[in-house]
Amino acid sequence: MRTRSTSGTVGVVTLVLAALLGSAYALGRSMTPATPRQPIGASAQIDGAQYGEQPADPAAPHTDPDGTRPDGGTPTTGADPDAPQPASDGDGPFGSHASTGTPEVALTFDDGPDPTYTPQVLEVLRAYGVKATFCVVGENAQDHPDLVQAIVADGHTLCNHSWHHDVLLGKRSPALIRADLIRTNDAIHAAVPDARISYFRQPGGAWTYPVVSVAEGLGMTPLHWTVDPNDWQVPGAAKITTTVTRDTGPGAIVLMHDAGGDRQGTVDALRRLLPELVSRFRLEALPVNGAN
């Protein structure tokens, strides 16, 4: 009888210990921070620099996933002091420029330079005698100064596109915005000391009054766009070609990308587009002294 009692006691103790250990494990798991998920979609980084570009409506202010704006406004909570107002200096959001102001059409390429795609874009433009505008990311300019030199040597215009494609740059303080733009200009000037950088394009089109004001204070015209084929979403050369051909008119600024992801579709579309565009419009780089 004593043996059975001892065995029963041991069994109960074992069950109690197992329950306690299970509770401790569950408690420990609940106190351990979850591993952050890798971002998905246009802002994900895969095999190098990847940049999320425009919101669905490029003319609308960018909205973060939590519903807030980069400038601190909340679209659903009454009057927003940073809501777009009638442009005083330009025809785009927050006074940025969204057209050339002339019959000429301007092709613009964002996010480069990139050693794979920028040389291809330059080659196609050169074949058709077309000058364009390249909105370069500072860290890419620092990594590929030879490509910045090639862009300038071919007679194209340069545009500042922030140091690290910061879609939330307009949410920063004016001092941080200014430091970012100056750092990017310095990287460009390290490659081409006498280069004119007369334009700034806010990543994602997420314009705010502070970022426009700082850019203008540094002598750069805030540059938006008219035509957006969403080539950053890699829709394929056929769709890019169709959108640009259909939507481009006199004075248009066409947004495309030579970096930030797989841009072979953009390059292939450019080969199809240029014969059509040059037959309809005069294609020019934006003037190096800025917009009028």
Catalytic residue annotation? 110, 257
Alpha-carbon distance 15 to 18, whole Å? 5
Q: How far apart are CA 203 and CA 43, in angstroms?
A: 12
In which residue are the tokens 């980084």 written? 45
For 252, list phi and psi in degrees, rounded to 5.
Answer: -70, 145
* SS3 assignment, position 236: coil
Peptide bond into 113 cis (omega under 30): yes
DSSP letter for 79, please. Answer: -
**How many helices (DSSP H) and strands (DSSP E) are in the chain?**
8, 6
The C-alpha angle with vertex 113 and arms to 110 and 115, in degrees rounded to 5, equals 135
Chain centroid to Cα 131, Å, comes to 22
Dist CA 240 CA 257 (whole Å): 11
The 3-class secondary structure across 193-221, one letter per residue, is: CCCCEEEECCHHHCCCHHHHHHHHHCCCE
Strands 253-257 vs 221-222: parallel, antiparallel or unpaired: unpaired
Amino acid at 274: L
